[in-house]
Amino acid sequence: MNYTEPMLREGSLKDKVFVVTGGGSGLGKAMSKYFLELGAKVVITSRNMEKLEKAKAELEEVTGGTVLPVACDIRNYEEIEAVLKATLDTFGKVDGLLNNAAGNFISPTERLSANAFDTIIDIVLKGTKNCTLVFGKHWINTKQEKSTVLNIVTTYAWTGSGYVVPSATAKAGVLAMTRSLAVEWAKYGIRFNAIAPGPFPTKGAWDRLLPGNLREKFDMKKKVPVGRVGEHQELANLAAYLMSDFSAYVNGEVITIDGGEWLKGAGQMNMLEDIPQEMWDQLEQMIRSKKRK
Ligand code: HXC
Ligand code: NAP
């Protein structure tokens, strides 16, 4: 067994209906694939219907599951109401929402127009708010016994990060929303959790965060203590657990899956990683000699 393999037992998500925003590409598609393999029916959304139709065909072929593609822009509340309606019309119910869709690009903040900043906030924070409100109200109004929301954030939701300031600002808001509603809406049987992934290569993220030769210049593997980037299946394993009833007592949690990346950046003396082993005798002697004086 290793981290590239599926983790949960067959049928773990049988009869569940999940909506995955941004489910037609990248991590959203990888998580949708695993939900389907575990028996869930999945609604995938994004702005691009052609992409969604292609993803549906591919996902249904490899998993034998059922996918409903619905085009929407998560910035528009009414379009999310239409996603809910399409989900109920097709499957009769909905058990979980995975807020995965996002927008992002690197830029010095002073180069951003007001609209550029707004665009990211509107997709990431307001989009997540729109989906959460539409589906949350539905579950509350219909007195559904249990449901779950999983939000994809980033580790810079709590550290902040230069050059992706709108994204960091918006993801911090999503994190606050996750923890707030985990408490407020627990009485309605709605659980809220989040995942903060480290670097998981996808076309969407890499084209916008590491364009051109930046991906050679800033090798993401070197930032990660375990020495590699993430595999989509290991993220899917965690997401499936958090969306499943196995995690019924996990509520308001954010789970980091980054190989220790953010802590490496945070720990003040972690740069000593670069000291060759053979230098440590000499350094120890230098330190001890000072102590005697
Ligand atoms: C400066 C830019 C820009 C850039 C766009 N804008 N790109 N400004 N530098 N590189 C400005 C535009 O000029 C415009 O402002 C405003 O932003 C909106 O741009 P549009 O192209 O009209 O927006 P839209 O078509 O809605 O596209 C949204 C987008 C795009 C975010 C710009 O990249 C997109 O669709 N992204 C979706 C997928 C995505 O981003 N995936 C990556 C997620 S990765 P003006 O003032 O000119 O009107 C991720 C990783 C997190 O989140 C952590 C990793 C470690
Ligand atoms: P991605 O493939 O670009 O995923 C983003 C998805 O969001 C796309 O499917 C996109 O589809 C959709 N989307 C964007 N704007 C939308 C809008 N206005 N309305 C509806 N859908 C919209 O990138 P990814 O790497 O898989 O990212 C997935 C999630 O993981 C994001 O939340 C991201 O912040 C997070 N994350 C990724 C990494 C990483 O290393 N990859 C690390 C940390 C966090 P359309 O363009 O077709 O609409």
Residue 258 lies in a domain: yes
The residue whose CA is least distant from atom 24 of ligand 1 is: 119
Return the best residue to mutate from 25, 52, 203, 234 for the ligand 2 pocket (most ligand atoms within 8 A of CB): 25
Q: Which atom of ligand 2 is nearest to the CA of 74?
A: 19
Answer whether residue 1 is part of any domain: no
Q: Which residues are 19's β-sheet partners? A: 43, 97
Q: How far apart are CA 16 and CA 22, in angstroms?
A: 19
- 256 CB-side CA count, 13 A: 14
Query: Which CATH number belongs to the domain containing residue 35 in this structure?
Result: 3.40.50.720
> Count of alpha carbons within 13 Å of 52, Cβ hemisphere only?
18
Whether 100 maps to a domain, the answer reads yes
**Dihedral of the alpha carbons of 168, 81, 39, 30, in degrees to the nearest 10:** -30
Q: Which of 53, 59, 202, 207 has most ligand 2 atoms within 8 Å of CB, for mutation?
A: 202
Enclosing domain of residue 80: 17-292
Q: Ligand 2, residue 73: give the atom nearest the CA.
A: 19
Ligand 1 centroid vs 44 CA: distance in angstroms? 21
> Does 4 map to a domain?
no
Distance separating alpha carbons of residues 191 and 184, to the nearest angstrom: 10
Residue 262 lies in a domain: yes
Average pLDDT per consecutive 10 residues, the chain (293 residues; last block may be shorter): 94 98 98 98 98 98 98 98 98 98 98 98 98 98 98 98 98 98 98 98 96 93 96 98 98 98 96 95 94 63
pTM for the whole structure: 0.97
Q: At what angle do helices 77-91 and 127-141 cross, to 10 degrees?
A: 50
* Known catalytic residue at 156: yes
Spell out which residues line ligand 2, taking CB within 6 angstroms: 21-22, 24-28, 46-48, 51, 72-75, 100-103, 123, 127, 152, 154, 197, 199-200, 202, 204-205
Helical (H) or strand (E) element with 68:
strand 67-71
Q: What is the CB neighbour count within 10 angstroms for residue 67?
A: 24
Residue 6, in any domain of the structure: no
**Count of domains in the chain?**
1
The single-letter code of the amino acid at 48 is N
* Residue 66 maps to a domain: yes
218 sits in which H/E element: none
If you measure from the C-alpha of residue 99 to the centroid of ligand 1, how many angstroms do you get, rounded to a whole number? 18
| Residue 1 pLDDT | 85
Radius of gyration, CA atoms only, the chain: 21
Residue 3 lies in a domain: no
| Catalytic one of 156, 163, 241, 249 | 156
